[in-house]
Amino acid sequence: MERHLYQAHPVLDHGLVRVIDYMGDDSAITQAARVSYGRGTKSVSNDEGLIRYLMRHWHSTPFEMCEVKFHVKLPVFVARQWIRHRTANVNEYSARYSILDREFYIPAPEQLAAQSTVNNQGRGEVLQGDEAARVLDLLREDAMRSYDHYEAMLSQDGQQGLARELARMNLPANVYTQWYWKVDLHNLFHFLRLRADAHAQYEIRAYAEAMCGIVRDWVPLGLFRIRGLPPGRQCSFPRKASRLLRRRLAGETVTAEKSGMSKGEWREFEAVWG
């Protein structure tokens, strides 16, 4: 983890993730557990075995003994998704006091996709040719024009202009912001399970995947908590899926219509279990 301190890991076109500070490691997890459980963990002879035991039995507090503070530079619309994880301490760059940079997230062509026809919050086919070029031009032009107007509204050359706290409302959601994000390991794992999942939006997933690489060096045994199991299914085994698998094991051919699942549940089931 020491080699990650203050090192910027690039994400998207202008974003980054950087470790500012951290506390604890795998040994801090097991140390806390052994204090708490005393003789109860005497049969678990090694740290990896103990960590797996803690996970199987949903003992979360030992993982809270580790903390990490990230510096993250990210588009505003990603930040608004990210802030839904309310179990961290956040201090964001303030556009009330400072002027935001002229930096905007413009997707790579392979990330320009149409609306999915089966998932109301997902992407479908990638846009091609003239349509992709048209969308990219609109994104760039709108971003630059809105920033030009933002600058024009601010105080310039000694002349009185609009207050920064008001001028900022004209900026688009793809402008970059920055924050410090401090979180304990238990809640970081929860964030990564959701946001590094293949079903997460690409932009926030790119940050989660960069953070996974950092966490792998920090707590390699603890990272078991978000590895080695089907994506998005590390925490739970839904009751409907359990019943359906039993029917399959008994030799029954189960279709979507006979599964008792919604279309969305069936798609997720097939994505994990085939």
Q: How far apart are CA 100 and CA 173, in angstroms?
A: 12
Distances in Å between the Cα of 1 and the Cα atoms of 5, 115, 140, 182, 214 are: 7, 39, 37, 16, 7
Looking at the chain, the whole-number percentage of residues with pLDDT higher than 90 is 47
User: pLDDT tens for residues 262-271?
Assistant: 777 788 788 8
Residues recognised as catalytic: 195
Q: How far apart are CA 97 and CA 110, in angstroms?
A: 36
Query: Residue 78 burial (CB < 10 Å; 0-12/13-18/19+)?
Result: buried
CB neighbour burial string for 191-208, b if at least 16 within 10 angstroms, e if fewer? bbbbbbbeebeebbbbbb
Q: How far apart are CA 217 and CA 50, in angstroms?
A: 19
User: pLDDT tens for residues 233-273?
Assistant: 343 445 678 888 888 899 888 888 888 877 777 887 888 77
**pLDDT reading at 73 higher than 50:** yes
Q: How far apart are CA 100 and CA 168, in angstroms?
A: 8
Ranges of each domain in the chain: 1-105+175-235, 109-173, 239-273
Identify the residue whose tokens are 């980054």. 16
Report the mean per-residue pLDDT for the chain.
Answer: 85
Q: Are 88 and 189 spatial neighbours (Cβ–Cβ below 8 Å)?
A: no
Q: In sequence order, what are the residues at sequence separation of 6 or more whose Cβ sits closer than 8 angstroms to the Cβ of residue 100?
A: 93, 150, 168, 171, 175, 176, 177
Q: What's this model's pTM, rounded to 2 decimal places?
A: 0.79
Which architecture, in CATH terms, is 1-105+175-235? 2-Layer Sandwich (3.30)
Determine the 3-state secondary structure of 16 from DSSP: strand
**pLDDT reading at 232 higher than 50:** no
